[in-house]
Structure 1
Amino acid sequence: MAELSSKWTFRRTYGEESETKGTRVLVDRMWPRGIKKEDLNIDEWAKDAAPSSQLRSWFHDDREGRWQEFQSRYRAELDENSEAAALAERLSHSAHVTLLTAAKDVEHSHVPVLAQWLQDSA
């Protein structure tokens, strides 16, 4: 489990649930494979806050070489995304938020970028 600040943490959907705390938000556009909806204890599925399909595909073609540019492009998408702004507003009232993703490399996925953006938006 990674932590941005005392309020924001993020981790994979696959693993120990006891590691999470506070409001639990799935932030992937697609539901994680092999997990039943009733088995993933989440408070919200914020799929509209995930990167666009086009940006995600572009990034996955060269994850290492495009990491810096991906962060900039994703933040620009978030700045224009009313759903992400509404999410930031809803989560600003939570004492702690755990962002969940199915990404294998959580540290180099959209999740830390989103967590930082949400923190900056609060």
Structure 2
Amino acid sequence: MSRGTRITLLLLVTGAAVAGTLAGVRLWNVHQQTSDWVWSPKEIPSKVQFAGREYNCGPDPSPTKQDVSALTPQGRTAGGGEILAKEPSTQARVFIVVRTRDGAFGCGLMGGP
């Protein structure tokens, strides 16, 4: 094997290792935020981090039956969904709603108040 071929092969292997590492870091970061193993966060991720707490929306969220008219916009999910919740108070919010163009989906507090 010639020197040029070895250098080319070394560069290809190094490039593949760097690309694999970057992809792994991206997947891990999204997983830490949302509990989903995807390249970019979904509008309604399995886990929503909001107001210092974590809320469970589940891997396959279903539309909420709760009346959302009393809830106000409080933030956004990592994927861009709008978080609706009651106004801040001394009590922990045990339920939030994530609203997207497809509807409103309920998420309960993980671990209790």
- Tell me, yes or no, whether TM beats 0.5: no
Give the structure with the higher percent helix.
Answer: 1
> Normalising by structure 1, what TM-score?
0.23
TM-score between the two structures when normalised by the length of structure 2: 0.24
Structure with more relative contact order (C-alpha pairs < 8 Å, separation 6 or more):
1
As a proportion of its length, which structure holds more strand?
A: 2
Larger Rg: 2
